[in-house]
Chain A
Amino acid sequence: AQTVTQSQPEMSVQEAETVTLSCTYDTSESNYYLFWYKQPPSRQMILVIRQEAYKQQNATENRFSVNFQKAAKSFSLKISDSQLGDTAMYFCAFTKGYGQNFVFGPGTRLSVLP
């Protein structure tokens, strides 16, 4: 069974600074997909960024980028130029493929401070 670990229950960062959220996972699959979802206080689940394991290039989406280390089974999220609106719970998620269920990590609560 796959597991996803997020070792930082809570983090804080000053506005405009950069922060990195860590995620590790365990799987025997060779191909899979990794995601970061953001859950603001409204409790919606918002897709931030995704990475296909077969792609060596790290995904980027504007201020969000990942550091995907397949051998180490690590998938960290970097948020640059943090904004107050980035304050949320961030979940790392794994899936074996499209059409397969997600396995979520326990989440990291990020607070962006003015």
Chain B
Amino acid sequence: EPEVTQTPSHQVTQMGQEVILRCVPISNHLYFYWYRQILGQKVEFLVSFYNNEISEKSEIFDDQFSVERPDGSNFTLKIRSTKLEDSAMYFCASSGDSYSNQPQHFGDGTRLSIL
């Protein structure tokens, strides 16, 4: 079964540095998402992306965050100037459209640790 892949599995970064988290969604999916899970807390929606633009974003997704689909396969989340509170598990997900009736498939996540 096709999978969403995320790299790296664990990223350690100094506070204030930029970090890019990478995702390869399932190839025929049209919608892409980023979620965040702070340790011990629930999974929170960050942003969704469709047709090469952001379709929805949460209050968490402020100006320090950006997303990009630089080519036909990758979907990236960039955090410009990381803060300690950005330490979390970041999940990428993708889904087809309503006609394909497919739920979101999640990647295995990237554990981001800010020092």
Contact = CB atoms under 8 A, between A and B. Distances in A.
Interface of A: 33, 35, 37, 42-47, 50, 91, 93, 95, 97-107
Interface of B: 30-31, 33, 35, 37, 41-45, 48, 50, 55-56, 58, 89, 91, 93, 95-98, 100-106, 108-109, 111
Contacts of A46: 106
Contact of A97 (B43, B50, B89, B98): B98
Given A43-B89, A50-B103, A98 B98 contact: yes
A33 B104 CA distance: 11
A98 B101 contact: yes
A102 B40 CA distance: 18
A35 B109 CA distance: 19
A43 B36 CA distance: 12
A105 B55 CA distance: 22
A101 B103 contact: no
Going nearest first, the 8 A-B pairs with the smallest beta carbon separation are: A45-B106, A104-B43, A101-B45, A106-B42, A98-B98, A99-B31, A44-B108, A104-B42
Nearest to A107: B42
B91 A45 contact: yes
Contacts of A100: 48, 56
Contact of B106 (A44, A98, A101): A44
A99 to B, nearest CB: 5
